[in-house]
């Protein structure tokens, strides 16, 4: 049996779809719905799995050793991913403490654990973007979300679990099934309708003299590539540690916008707008994954280009199709 937490979320649901595509339906899916009509529910429509657990119920079972399924692998994708939320206590319980419980159970019962960390742990990039263990302890995230992910990475290292589990520092992931994320959706998802209907797109101005408006750089990675990495690691239990998951090729927001305009056959028209005050001191102007560690572990598949990724995603956005 394979457990996927955050299974109704963005990356989790795409992973469930891929596992189903591979003929794997012996899945336990874990998530939490805020209300009966929670749009996340759409991400699991048509998916094949054995049972759904609410996050709270799953956590109670773990704590009292009442989870009696024979589990071979846990994909722990469940977390609050808001970069603007200012509730430290919530991040502590939902992202850190919850992850510790999942990890302790996995270690105890020898289930493979693959968990989601984040490139938000790298902060302003002063320490570079290396996923080497010596570098991880030096990182200084810029927001509570990044801090919660950093704290768990450090907990894994402190307990020397890195030889038994896999942590994945996801960079800027975008693609189908993020429709429910509101303001936390990718820029491609948020801008699509306006580009199609009006031929216009908005990007944040730069407040760093080293970068012109729209020339801030991020390592954007398509969700299908992320899922391929996770499947690779599931199939190779001898590969463990904390890894970056990006393309190793940063591109500008302007390049991303150009790819979107091209995908929908529109002439580019970009408006640069003020960035909210809350983000200005916490904004990452450059991210680029160092992918040597994952490549050295045997992952050889090339990552999809930004142009191909955006074009493929637009085919889903056109009719709000799910993976």
Ordered by start, the domain boundaries in the chain are 2-174+220-248+286-303
pLDDT (0 to 100) of residue 293: 97
Q: What angle do CA 244, 245, 251 make, to 5 degrees?
A: 105
- Under the banding of pLDDT at 50, 70 and 90, the label for residue 41 is very high
For the chain, where are the E strands, in sequence order? 2-5, 27-31, 51-54, 73-76, 112-118, 165-170, 172-174, 201-204, 217-218, 220-222, 241-245, 251-252, 270-273
Q: What is the mean pLDDT of the chain?
A: 95
Could you tell me what percent of the chain has a pLDDT over 90? 90
Is 90 exceeded by the pLDDT of residue 47?
Answer: yes
Marked catalytic residue, from 41, 93, 181, 200? 181
pLDDT (0 to 100) of residue 259: 98
pLDDT (0 to 100) of residue 246: 98
| Domain 2-174+220-248+286-303: CATH architecture, name and number where available | 3-Layer(aba) Sandwich (3.40)
Look up residue 286 and give its DSSP letter. Answer: B
Annotated active-site residue 145? The verdict is: yes
Look up residue 210 and give its two tokens: 């080293």
Closest CA to 76 of 136, 208, 166, 164: 166
- Under the banding of pLDDT at 50, 70 and 90, the label for residue 88 is confident
Average pLDDT rounded to a whole number, residues 99-114 = 96
Look up residue 181 and give its two tokens: 């994320």
Phi, psi of 216 (to 5 degrees): -60, 145
pLDDT (0 to 100) of residue 321: 97
Beta bridge partners, 245, equal: 170
The model's pLDDT over 159-205, given as tens digits with 9 standing for 90+, comes to 999 999 999 999 999 999 999 999 889 999 999 999 999 999 999 99
Question: The tokens 């809350």 sit on which residue?
Answer: 278
- Under the banding of pLDDT at 50, 70 and 90, the label for residue 272 is very high
pLDDT (0 to 100) of residue 282: 83
pLDDT (0 to 100) of residue 319: 94
Is 80 exceeded by the pLDDT of residue 82?
Answer: no
Is 90 exceeded by the pLDDT of residue 279?
Answer: no
- Under the banding of pLDDT at 50, 70 and 90, the label for residue 85 is confident
Beta bridge partners, 129, equal: none
Marked catalytic residue, from 98, 115, 122, 145? 145
- Under the banding of pLDDT at 50, 70 and 90, the label for residue 273 is very high
Helical spans, DSSP H, in 87-143: 88-91, 98-108, 133-136
pLDDT (0 to 100) of residue 87: 83
Q: Model pTM?
A: 0.95
CA distances from 201 to 18, 137, 296 (A): 32, 38, 39
Phi, psi of 114 (to 5 degrees): -125, 115
CA–CA separation, 101 vs 106, rounded Å?
9
Average pLDDT rounded to a whole number, residues 221-238 = 98
pLDDT (0 to 100) of residue 80: 74
CA–CA separation, 231 vs 236, rounded Å?
9
Other residues' Cβ atoms within 10 Å of the Cβ of residue 11: 24
pLDDT (0 to 100) of residue 83: 73
pLDDT (0 to 100) of residue 145: 92
Closest CA to 30 of 317, 49, 81, 150: 49
């Amino acid at each position: 049996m394979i457990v996927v937490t955050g299974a109704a979320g963005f990356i989790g649901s795409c992973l469930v779809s891929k596992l189903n595509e591979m003929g794997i339906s012996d899945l336990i899916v874990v998530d939490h719905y805020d209300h009966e009509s929670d749009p996340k529910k759409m991400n699991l429509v048509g998916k094949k799995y054995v049972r759904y657990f609410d996050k709270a119920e799953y956590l109670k079972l773990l704590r009292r050793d009442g989870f009696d399924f024979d589990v071979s692998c846990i994909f722990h994708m469940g977390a609050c991913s808001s970069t603007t939320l200012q509730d430290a206590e919530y991040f502590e319980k939902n992202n850190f403490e919850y992850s510790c419980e999942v990890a302790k159970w996995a270690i105890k019962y020898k289930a493979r654990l693959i968990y989601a960390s984040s490139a938000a742990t790298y902060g302003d990039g002063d320490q570079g973007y290396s996923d080497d263990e010596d570098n991880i302890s030096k990182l200084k995230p810029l927001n509570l979300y990044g801090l919660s992910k950093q704290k768990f990475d450090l907990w894994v290292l402190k307990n020397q679990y890195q030889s038994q589990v896999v942590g994945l520092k996801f960079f800027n992931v975008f693609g189908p099934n993020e429709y429910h994320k509101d303001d936390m959706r990718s820029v491609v998802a948020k801008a699509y309708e306006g580009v199609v209907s009006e031929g216009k797109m908005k990007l944040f101005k730069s407040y760093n003299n080293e970068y012109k408006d729209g020339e801030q750089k991020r390592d954007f990675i398509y969700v299908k590539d992320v899922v391929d990495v996770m499947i690779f690691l599931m199939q190779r239990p001898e590969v463990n540690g904390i890894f970056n998951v990006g393309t190793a090729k940063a591109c500008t927001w302007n390049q991303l916008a150009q790819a979107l305009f091209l995908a929908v056959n529109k002439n580019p028209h970009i408006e640069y707008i003020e960035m909210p005050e809350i983000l200005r001191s916490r904004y990452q102007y450059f991210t680029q994954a160092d992918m040597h560690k994952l490549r050295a572990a045997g992952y050889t598949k090339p990552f999809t280009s930004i142009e191909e990724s955006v074009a493929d995603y637009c085919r889903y956005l056109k009719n709000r199709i799910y993976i």
